[in-house]
């Protein structure tokens, strides 16, 4: 049974949460691209999530995750990602701003120059995070390096806890039931803004990596009984069990907010055609998307996440997968700091 937006928001108020962002985030029409594409194209600016200058989608999740850590009286929070992880950086600032100590284990997909630290990794250090760089071994995949970083993180956590320090582990991307609740909230916020404009939303496009944002959006759609088609553009190799796993995650998030699980695998629409040659590896489609949005609307995307997602949207407009006259929202999940990262991540933009 679907809920009204007000009812969903009241449910979300009952779980631990802290104030990290300035919400609602801006929601506005991209006038020039709407005319060029023949659709009504809107953008939801979750790159403007709040108190940290470099916001993004993880801030919504961290409101709930850090809120839970504080309720449990933790002293340290651990998390994981690549060296230029948006999630790791946002976790560092959110923890530090709330008197928690962030510990980051970061896999070096692109090995940083210790004499020239850039972008998110630089911010991690400025925020005072305890940073552990996990250098990739010969023939080691990112997934294998991730698993190694998890083991090392557990060892460090055990050490701290043996000394009497309470720790909380936050998964990559904040993709557990607690963090995913952040995008049940985010979807409700978007629907409320659309209703205020008397706007029906046909499509919602966004980037997906660890999958918490995707699971939360789909859970929110199910909870509110909306018809918007959510198209999730993968930024990495999702593997064979991705949708099954995210179905479980979406339902776990619904249960966490005391709603009935209702999400099925068929509720997801995942496109894996735009991430090649790999995570944190640039491609021509993303470069075109970044330049197009910058030069038409003055808005910056990044080469790792939003550039690839917007490339998927552009492709679907050009091939007719998005019908002319449709109302389409692009969820800007942040990450523009990658424009100042290593050249291997940035690619050829000029």
Neighbours of 114 (CB within 10 A): 8
Q: Which residue has the tokens 């552009």?
A: 314
Residue 249 to residue 126: CA distance in whole angstroms: 33
Burial of 240 (0-12, 13-18, 19+ CB in 10 A): exposed
CB–CB of 106/82 below 8 Å? yes
Q: Which residue is catalytic, options 2, 34, 85, 326?
A: 85
Pick from 222, 226, 232, 208: which is nearest to 257 by CA?
A: 222
- Dist. CA 327–CA 38, nearest whole Å: 10
The full 3-state SS of the chain, as one line of letters, equals: CCCCHHHHHHHHCCCCCCCCECCCCCEEECHHHHHHHCCEEEEEEHHHCECCCCCECHHHHHHHHHHHHHHCCCCEEEEEEECCCHHHHHHHHHHHCCCCEEEEEEEECCCCCCCCCCHHHHHHHHCCCEEEEEECCCCCCHHHHHHHHHHHHHHHHHHHHHCCCCEEECCHHHCCHHHHHHHHHHHHHHHHHHHHCCCCCCEEEEEECCCHHHHHHHHHHHHHCCCCEEEEEECCCCCCCHHHHHHHHHHHHHHHCCCCCCCCHHHCCEECCCCCCCCCCCCHHHHHHHHHHHHHHCCCCCCCCHHHHHHHHHHHHHCCCCCCCCEEEEEECECHHHHHCCHHHHCCCC
Q: Is 85 a catalytic residue?
A: yes
Q: Which residues are catalytic?
A: 85
């Amino acid at each position: 049974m679907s809920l009204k937006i007000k009812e969903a928001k009241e449910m979300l108020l009952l779980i631990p949460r802290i104030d990290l962002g300035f919400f609602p985030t801006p929601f506005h029409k991209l006038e020039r691209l709407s005319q060029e594409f023949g659709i009504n194209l809107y953008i939801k600016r979750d790159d403007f999530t709040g108190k940290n200058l470099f916001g993004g989608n993880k801030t919504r999740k961290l409101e709930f995750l850090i809120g839970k850590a504080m309720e449990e009286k933790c002293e340290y929070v651990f998390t994981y990602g690549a060296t230029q992880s948006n999630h790791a950086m946002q976790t560092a600032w959110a923890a530090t701003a709330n008197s928690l100590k962030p510990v980051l284990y970061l896999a070096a997909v692109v090995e940083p120059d210790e004499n020239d630290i850039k972008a998110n990794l630089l911010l991690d250090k400025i925020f005072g995070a305890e940073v552990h760089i996990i250098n990739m071994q010969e023939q080691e995949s990112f997934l294998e390096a991730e698993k190694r970083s998890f083991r090392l993180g557990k060892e460090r956590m055990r050490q701290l806890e043996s000394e009497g320090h309470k720790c909380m582990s936050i998964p990559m991307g904040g993709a557990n039931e607690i963090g995913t609740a952040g995008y049940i909230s985010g979807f409700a916020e978007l629907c409320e803004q659309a209703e205020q404009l008397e706007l029906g939303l046909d499509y919602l496009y966004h980037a997906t990596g660890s999958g918490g944002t995707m699971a939360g959006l789909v859970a929110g759609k199910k909870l509110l009984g909306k018809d918007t088609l959510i198209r999730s553009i993968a930024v990495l190799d999702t593997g064979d069990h991705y949708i099954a796993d995210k179905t479980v995650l979406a339902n776990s998030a619904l249960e966490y907010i005391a709603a009935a699980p209702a999400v099925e695998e068929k509720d997801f629409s995942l496109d894996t055609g735009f991430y090649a040659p790999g995570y944190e590896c640039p491609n021509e489609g993303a470069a075109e998307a970044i330049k197009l949005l910058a030069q038409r609307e003055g808005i910056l995307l990044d080469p790792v996440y939003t550039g690839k997602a917007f490339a998927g949207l552009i492709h679907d407009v050009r091939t007719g997968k998005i019908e002319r006259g449709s109302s389409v929202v692009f969820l800007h999940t942040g990450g523009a700091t990658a424009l100042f990262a290593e050249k291997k991540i940035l690619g050829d933009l000029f």
